[in-house]
């Protein structure tokens, strides 16, 4: 192999200077021809454009950012537990933002303070014009305290109670959970267990609250032995662990509400391995309606969260708040409806 790389150092990148020289105008005119085409004569615009084509000029992003005090980039903060819930969200975000010429920087916080500090610094360094937090928790880091004053921030899927500094895009987790459990009750179930999400997350608390609400409304007691807590994250493993608790029980529930689809899927799979069949022996409901829910056997009955729509709306709101056009847009709270998707994993008793 004879190739020797010759990046950066090699051919000096073409600058606005080169274009100006070639077109026989000043750099200011080149800049104008690009940004405000109707403020230059057609002749000069043509000359500039042709010089640009000839040189292959692309404006330097750093110089532009430095001058314009805007990077046209947003930071999307994800938990990074690598579950597939976020795939369509990120997809929708990237679509809207890139269409508007914004870049999407992704950051995985992984529940690590160090990483949160890292990304707080990214924001404070002026590297992004806005932030989308898709983690369920606003980073606790003190460095984050000052951050909302610097750039607009939005929270997705779980809002901070009382925070009017952020736009919030979420669902009514509590009501949605109550609907699911209410559906189980309507199907004749009386002993209903709940596999919670990770300890301390807002969604976990809300969905547990909804579970209690539905039980209470039906005159049913919340039994501690049927609330399977601290199983882990919103993932398969949590479902596996919950299955162990199911098997350990003498008086088993006839239905189980899992706080997320992946938990439900892991649970069902472990039950099968133990010879228990869903929904024949026990009914299972999930939450989210991720891609795999419908393809599973049994197809999972679950609460659909409108992830793509949420992503789109959140992106559009942030775009508006970043642009500052038409006065500064105040943060909003948008609550989208969930939908109970009936499939095969819950049966009538």
* Nearest of 95, 117, 81, 104 to residue 260 by alpha carbon: 81
Piece in contact with DNA (CB under 7 A), picked from 9-17, 199-207, 208-216, 328-336:
9-17
Residue 139 in contact with its own copies, rule: CB under 8 A = no
Residue 27 binding: pick among its own copies, DNA, none (C-beta 5-8 Å cut-off by kind): DNA
Q: What is the distance of C-alpha 257 from the center of its chain?
A: 23
Interface residues for its own copies in 56-85 (CB under 8 A)?
56, 58-63, 65-66, 69, 71, 73, 80, 82-84
Interface residues for DNA in 264-303 (CB under 7 A)?
none
Residue 162 in contact with its own copies, rule: CB under 8 A = no
DSSP reduced 3-state for 288? strand
Indicate the residue among 60 and 277 with the shorter CB distance to DNA.
60
Residue 144 in contact with its own copies, rule: CB under 8 A = no
Residue where the block lists tokens 């919030």: 168
Indicate the residue among 39 and 140 with the shorter CB distance to DNA.
39
Interface residues for its own copies in 234-273 (CB under 8 A)?
236, 265-266, 269, 272
Residue 43 in contact with its own copies, rule: CB under 8 A = no
Residue 95 binding: pick among its own copies, DNA, none (C-beta 5-8 Å cut-off by kind): its own copies
What's the distance, Cα to Cα, between the start and end of the chain in Å? 71
Angle at the Cα of 319 from the Cα atoms of 59 and 337, rounded to 5 degrees: 150
Indicate the residue among 25 and 131 with the shorter CB distance to DNA.
25
Q: What is the distance of C-alpha 148 from the center of its chain?
A: 18
Among 54, 199, 223, 291, binds its own copies (CB under 8 A): 291
Residue 8 binding: pick among DNA, its own copies, none (C-beta 5-8 Å cut-off by kind): its own copies
Name the E strands within 79-137. 103-108, 130-133
Look at the alpha carbons of 185, 191, 195, 200 in this order and tell me if their dihedral is positive or negative: positive
Closest approach of Cβ 27 to DNA, in Å?
4
Element (H, E) at 184: helix 173-186
Give the list of residues 6+ apart from residue 83 with CB closer than 8 angstroms, or none: 233, 234, 235, 262
Residue 150 in contact with DNA, rule: CB under 7 A = no
Among 37, 53, 68, 121, binds DNA (CB under 7 A): 68
Give the list of residues 6+ apart from residue 119 with CB closer than 8 angstroms, or none: 75, 77, 107, 109, 139
Indicate the residue among 12 and 348 with the shorter CB distance to DNA.
12
Angle at the Cα of 198 from the Cα atoms of 195 and 202, rounded to 5 degrees: 100
Own/partner contacts of 79-82, CB < 8 Å, gap of 24 or more, are 79/108, 79/109, 79/110, 79/111, 79/134, 79/135, 79/136, 80/108, 80/109, 80/110, 81/110, 81/233, 81/234, 81/235
Q: Do residues 251 and 224 make contact, with C-beta atoms less than 8 angstroms apart?
A: no
Show the binding pattern over residues 113-132: x = contacts its own copies (CB under 8 A), - = does not: --x--x--xx-xxxx-----
Indicate the residue among 60 and 216 with the shorter CB distance to DNA.
60
Interface residues for DNA in 10-49 (CB under 7 A)?
12-13, 15-17, 24-32, 34-35, 39-41, 43-44
Closest approach of Cβ 116 to DNA, in Å?
22
Interface contacts to DNA, rule CB under 7 A = 12-13, 15-17, 24-32, 34-35, 39-41, 43-44, 57, 59-60, 63-64, 66-69
């Amino acid at each position: 192999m004879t190739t020797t790389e010759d990046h950066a150092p090699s051919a000096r990148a073409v600058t606005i200077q080169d274009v100006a020289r070639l077109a026989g105008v000043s750099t200011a005119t080149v800049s104008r021809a690009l940004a405000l085409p109707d403020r230059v004569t057609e002749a000069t615009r043509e000359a500039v454009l042709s010089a640009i084509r000839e040189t292959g000029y692309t404006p330097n992003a750093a110089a532009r950012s430095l001058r314009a005090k805007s990077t046209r980039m947003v930071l999307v903060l994800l938990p990074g537990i690598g579950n597939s819930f976020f795939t369509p969200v990120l997809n929708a975000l990237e679509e809207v933002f890139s269409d508007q010429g914004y870049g999407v920087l992704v950051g995985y916080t992984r529940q690590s303070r160090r990483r949160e500090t890292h990304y707080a610094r990214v924001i404070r360094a002026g590297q992004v014009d806005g932030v989308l937090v898709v983690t369920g928790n606003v980073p606790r880091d003190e460095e984050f305290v000052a951050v909302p004053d610097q750039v607009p921030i939005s929270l997705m899927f779980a809002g901070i109670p009382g925070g009017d500094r952020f736009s919030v895009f979420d669902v009514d987790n509590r009501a949605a959970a109550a609907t699911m459990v209410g559906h189980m009750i309507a199907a004749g179930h009386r002993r209903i267990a709940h596999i919670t999400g990770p300890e301390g997350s807002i969604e976990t608390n809300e969905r547990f609250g909804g579970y209690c609400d539905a039980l209470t409304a039906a005159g049913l007691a919340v039994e501690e032995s049927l609330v399977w807590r601290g199983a882990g994250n919103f993932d398969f493993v949590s479902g596996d662990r919950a299955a162990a608790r199911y098997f350990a029980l003498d008086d088993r529930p006839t239905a189980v509400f899992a706080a997320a689809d992946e938990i439900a899927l892991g649970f069902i799979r472990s039950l099968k391995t133990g010879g228990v069949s869903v929904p024949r022996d026990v009914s299972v409901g999930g939450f989210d309606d991720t891609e795999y829910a419908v393809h599973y056997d049994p197809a999972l009955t679950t609460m659909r969260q409108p992830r793509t729509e949420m992503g789109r709306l959140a992106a559009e709101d942030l775009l508006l708040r970043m642009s500052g056009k038409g006065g500064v847009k105040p943060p909003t709270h948008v609550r989208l409806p969930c939908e109970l998707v009936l499939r095969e994993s819950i049966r009538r008793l």
